[in-house]
Amino acid sequence: MDSIIGFLLLSGISVSFFVIFHLFRQNRTWTLPNRIAVAIQLLWLMRFFLFYVKGPNVPVDNPFVVIYDQTLFFLDGVLVWLYVRSLLRPDKSFKWIWLHFIPFVITFAYSSIMAFFFADQVITRFNEQLLDMKNKTIDLSTTDIIFFIVLISYNLIYLYKSEGMTKTYNDDLKENLSNVDHLTINWVERFKRLWIVLFFVPLALYFGNYMQPVLGQIEFGNVLLISFFILVVVFNSFLLEQTYKPVSIFKTATENSSEIKLNPEVNAEVNTNSAKILDEVLGENQYYLDEELSLNQLANYMNMKSTELTALIKQSPYENFYDLINTYRVEEVKKQLKDTNEQIIQLAYQNGFRSKSTFNKIFKDKTGMTPRQYRLS
């Protein structure tokens, strides 16, 4: 097992070096997301290096190797959050961003003091804990327990911040676009879930096992390293393949939506029957067949402002622009499923869908059946 862990650590170092080299080589314009991505790679590179130098569960004599690997865990959550923030909200100010690094700075300063002035105590305590882990008899101090709880809580906070930001971004997309499959938001969502499964959960269980040993801590630590290596590989595959364009290419019509005021003519029609207005426009012109249809385009077709169209949709039975357009697409596909023998996926593409999986999901949400079941019903 030790040889496998050593190989994974060397592989992790190689992967991080390769990605840093690739980012420097390909990006002539050094964007903020790319700079943060490099910072994440450097963090992981240092962690793999420290784990490798420390060796697979053997005594050490270097206090810096012992103490800094735990300190680095205060950077994972905040750097991942910053990366998501730089992708999804590039317009947000980063003026006070340094405040988020205060816990790391404090922990790093404390660790440096301990490593410089209390090196013998640090090494002795680590080697004693290593022996206790092998014997499955771990005696943690109150300080250790507090440190672990703070560390887990700190990363959890930034997990929720990233999740909230992603949800807001998703909502903005669906207020403005009829297809979102081609945007990197799906990539961000998948990585967020992967981070929970392969980083946050194993880390929490690892430290939890410190306090109440259930499994051998050494074996548990090896599992954590394997999970972390998988996370690094998958994250970097997403990173190198992404073709992201920020949402700032359009202004969302949802800002200050509670203050949206329609002109008197439109307002009167909205109050009577907003769904009828939308049905007349879309039913007659079939704008929904355009897979690139956006809120602004439809507003232009209707000679309205985008804020007015947003208010119109909000007072209709539809959740948002995305829901409105895809409802009409599903209705058109339903008709053609009964009237033609054309392949289902061709019907989906002809009616504005860009993804088979998205079409199947939306169709089932709207009808309670798969397209094939609907055709045979």
- Residue 256: which pLDDT band, with cuts at 50, 70 and 90? very low
Tell me what percent of the residues of the chain surpass a pLDDT of 90. Answer: 22
pLDDT in tens, 129-154: 667 666 656 666 677 778 888 888 89
Minimum mean pLDDT range among 49-58, 100-109, 206-215, 240-249? 240-249
Alpha carbons 115 and 68: distance in angstroms, whole number: 9
Q: For the residues 340-361, what does the mean pLDDT come to?
A: 92
Nearest CA to 178 out of 312, 7, 297 is that of 297
Q: For the residues 199-227, what does the mean pLDDT come to?
A: 70
- In this structure, are residues 221 and 65 in contact, taking their beta carbons and an 8 Å threshold? no
pTM of the model: 0.77
What is the model's pLDDT at position 353?
94
Name the residue with higher pLDDT: 86 or 252.
86
- Residue 56: which pLDDT band, with cuts at 50, 70 and 90? low
Which domains, and CATH codes, for the chain?
Answer: 2-246 (1.20.1070.10), 262-376 (1.10.10.60)
- Residue 333: which pLDDT band, with cuts at 50, 70 and 90? very high
Share the mean pLDDT of the chain. Answer: 80
What is the model's pLDDT at position 244?
52
Minimum mean pLDDT range among 221-230, 241-250, 275-284, 325-334? 241-250
Q: What is the dihedral of CA 191, 197, 202, 203, to 10 degrees?
A: 40
